[in-house]
Amino acid sequence: PTILHIPTQPYDDQKFGTSGLRKPTATFMREHYLDNCVQALFYALGEEEVRGKSLGLGGDGRCTQAAQTIIRLAAGNGFARVVVGRDALLATPAASALIRRRGLYGGIIMTASHNPGGPEHDFGIKFNRSAGEPAPDHLTDRVFEETRRVAVLKLGVTRFGSFEVEVVDPAADYLAVLQEVFDFNLLRGFLGRRDFSLVFDAMHAVTGPYARRILVEELGAPPECVVNGTPSPDFGGGHPDPNLTHAHDLVGRMWSDSAPDFGAASDGDGDRNMVLGRRFFVNPCDSVAVIAAHAQACIPHFRQGLKGVARSMPTSGALDRVAAALGLRCHETPTGWKYFGSLMDAGLCSLCGEESFGTGADHIREKDGLFAVLAWLSVLAHANRDVPEGGPLVGVEDIVRQHWLTYGRTFFCRHDYDIPDAAQAAAVMQHLGGVAAGAAEGAELCGRVLRSANDFSYTDPVDGATTSNQGLRFIFADGSRIVFRLSGTGSRGATLRVYLEHHCADPARLGEDAREALRPLAGVALELSRLEHFTGLREPSVVT
Ligand code: VG1
Ligand code: CO
């Protein structure tokens, strides 16, 4: 293609967060803002390195014109081919599957994930590499350096010649991968039962077409089981984050008299999931633990057993208990999916999860909302294999309660505080850092005996890379734990996340409401952090 060299101004705020670069859409509309970042990415990868390579491209539908820009830049920077999802759509897990199955060099995903979309809200990009995994820190650090240096954009302006754009079905590769993971016959049989019903809420985001293709066309569920199934650029004005606060349509339905047996929702780019039973919420920390406990028996991909499991540090220890029972190693990584990939590549981890509604496995290198849904349906199908039609069916709640009886229950809650002034949030963390540094084992903090307090630091067991400052944790003598960290996915101000957990083995108390059970610990968190003093806030913005 003919290549134009366009001068540009560097920007100094294009730093990737927990997962990609996210900014208000208005920021991305600034002159050459997107171009600058993508050009910097290509420079960071290396001009010779990207020559002749194939790049995947798609997104959650929040902005299709960005695809044109990225394709021109790919052409101008010497890529030989861009493989783009039809209508510029690709769910994040589908992008990971596409990259892996087609041996692409990498892929750009146009999404700000669970952040709301449209002109008033956020846009973003993620970059994944050839194993389908999110870019590691050392690469995004290099991209950040380049963004502050970029002076010239290389835009390919003729389409043909040695450069090719291939438009593909955004679901085909992903479906093929899932078919290798799950027993589709088992699932088809189960979804065909007249005494089982389900609903999947795509929250007006990218998973609608995927859910229709997989649940309806492949597995025979009735079409009306997919709701809010047409992707819209602003997600119907909603907040595409699958939790009890934002997935209100689904929650209303699952708590109504006509609730189906199973409900699930997914986020903007399809990598998160929430699983519900009738009037029953499955905490994501429990979800991955339950799947781990049943994986070998009901999911063909795990037939040989799990190689190991992993969770992000703030995620509860429910998974650790299953791992211990199965004789497996449970790795504890920093928040964000990028740390799981190297464990999977090295054969150390088959299944992993995060408290933030992320569940996934080594079939790809991203968290995967529909994977979690199919995993749960597999667990249910297996549990009901001998239950004659007409029931009574073993439901989601039965499975979880049985799990708690076996392993005890780890109560878990996350309190998010939106703090408009980021400096105040930094002050809270600085204060807490001081408290952690000064607190010795056995010390009394807010009426509790401390076991340990520290700033989480992680060394990747495979490549030895160390990542520090990943959250302050206070672990008490009774095993309860409070973790504080700042979000790395917001686009304005700061969000302080407070993670609370406490294990309980007393069968009489397993059914308590998690928020109630954790109220005393929440009080400790407020006192310890002096949150109100620093921010004026007393109540969390969102509790999950
Ligand atoms: C949040 C979650 C984290 C997740 C990340 C990306 O990050 O806490 O667990 O991996 O979002 O998810 P943070 O830094 O805001 O806590 V997604 O679905 O937005 O890519
Ligand atoms: Co997401």
Residues 358-374: tens digit of each pLDDT = 999 999 999 999 999 99
Reduce the DSSP state of residue 470 to 3 states and report it. Answer: coil
User: Is the predicted pLDDT of residue 298 greater than 80, yes or no?
Assistant: yes
Query: Would you give the distance in Å from CA 456 to the centre of its chain?
Result: 20
Cα→Cα distances 486→22, 188, 337, 426, Å: 15, 43, 16, 8
User: Is the predicted pLDDT of residue 103 greater than 90, yes or no?
Assistant: yes
Confirm if 349 and 331 have CB atoms less than 8 A apart.
yes
User: Given this model, what pLDDT does residue 161 score?
Assistant: 67
User: Given this model, what pLDDT does residue 162 score?
Assistant: 80
54 CB near ligand 1 (under 6 Å): no
Q: Right CATH number for 174-407 from 3.40.50.720, 3.30.160.110, 3.40.120.10, 3.20.20.80?
A: 3.40.120.10
> What share of the chain in percent tops pLDDT 90?
90
From the list 358, 345, 356, the residue with the least C-alpha distance to 308 is: 345
User: Given this model, what pLDDT does residue 467 score?
Assistant: 93
Residues 16, 19, 20: CA angle, nearest 5 degrees: 45
From the list 377, 215, 388, the residue with the least C-alpha distance to 290 is: 377
Active site amino acids: 113
| Model pLDDT for residues 40-73, shown as the tens digit of each residue | 999 999 999 999 999 999 999 987 789 999 999 9
CATH 3.30.310.50 intervals, the chain: 409-543
From the list 285, 405, 426, the residue with the least C-alpha distance to 356 is: 285
pLDDT band at 490; cut points 50, 70, 90: confident
Q: How far apart are CA 481 and CA 466, in angstroms?
A: 23
Q: How far apart are CA 361 and CA 352, in angstroms?
A: 6
146 CB near ligand 1 (under 6 Å): no
CA of 460 to the centre of ligand 1 (A): 19
Mutate-to-test residue for ligand 1 from 15, 16, 18, 414, highest number of ligand atoms within 8 A of CB: 18
Closest atom of ligand 1 to CA, residue 17: 14
Query: What letter does residue 507 receive in the DSSP assignment?
Result: G
Hey, which residues does 452 pair with through a beta bridge?
Answer: 475
| Nearest protein CA to atom 5 of ligand 1, as residue | 336
Residue 416 tokens, joined? 């998010």
Confirm if 262 and 396 have CB atoms less than 8 A apart.
yes
Average pLDDT of the residues of the chain: 95
CA of 434 to the centre of ligand 2 (A): 33
CATH numeric code, 409-543: 3.30.310.50
Q: Is residue 60 exposed (0-12), middle (13-18) or buried (19+ Cβ within 10 Å)?
A: buried
Topology of the domain comprising 3-170: Alpha-D-Glucose-1,6-Bisphosphate; Chain A, domain 3 (3.40.120)
CATH 3.40.120.10 intervals, the chain: 3-170, 174-407
Q: Which ligand is nearest to the CA of 206?
A: 2
CA of 462 to the centre of ligand 2 (A): 26
Confirm if 16 and 143 have CB atoms less than 8 A apart.
yes
If you write DSSP's letter for every residue of 337-393 in order, what string do you get?
GGGHHHHHHTTS-SEEEETTTEEEETTSSS--HHHHHHHHHHHHHHHTTTSPTT-PP
From the list 354, 318, 323, the residue with the least C-alpha distance to 337 is: 354
| Nearest protein CA to atom 19 of ligand 1, as residue | 113
Neighbours of 239 (CB within 10 A): 20
Q: Which ligand is nearest to the CA of 122?
A: 1
Q: Name the strand (E) or helix (H) holding 244.
A: none
pLDDT band at 134; cut points 50, 70, 90: very high
Name the strands in the sheet holding 81-89, side by side, starting at the edge strand that comes first in the sequence: 21-24, 122-129, 106-110, 54-59, 81-89, 164-168
User: Given this model, what pLDDT does residue 159 score?
Assistant: 62
User: Given this model, what pLDDT does residue 156 score?
Assistant: 87
Confirm if 284 and 251 have CB atoms less than 8 A apart.
no
| Model pLDDT for residues 411-464, shown as the tens digit of each residue | 999 999 999 999 999 999 999 999 999 888 888 888 899 999 999 999 999 999
| Nearest protein CA to atom 11 of ligand 1, as residue | 489
Radius of gyration of the chain (CA): 23
User: Is the predicted pLDDT of residue 520 greater than 70, yes or no?
Assistant: yes
CA of 52 to the centre of ligand 1 (A): 33
Kindly state the average pLDDT of the residues 77-86. Answer: 95
Kindly state the average pLDDT of the residues 337-357. Answer: 97
